[in-house]
Amino acid sequence: MCSAGDNWLFVPDRTNPAGDLESGYLVKNGERVVLTHCSRQLAELFRILRRLEFEFSTRLQRSEE
């Protein structure tokens, strides 16, 4: 799970105990938007953004030293 901006929470695809794939979704104030076709792409985008943010902050810290 991760924040998707503007108080939305992103819950990626997951497998339930029976082994069935459950689609990821966005949720805000109890409202759920199921991401049937794009959950994996959105999860990958968030991974890339987190990595870029980490790399940028690491470079910024090095340049300040």
pLDDT digits (tens, 9 = 90+) for 19-64: 999 999 999 999 999 998 888 898 899 899 999 999 999 988 888 8
Verdict on whether the full-model pTM lies above 0.85: no
The per-residue pLDDT for 53 is 93
Count the domains in the chain: 1
Two structure tokens written together for 40: 């994996």
The per-residue pLDDT for 4 is 63
Residue 58: which domain range? 2-64
Q: Where are the beta strands (DSSP E) in the chain?
A: 2-3, 9-11, 14-15, 21-22, 25-28, 31-34
The per-residue pLDDT for 7 is 84
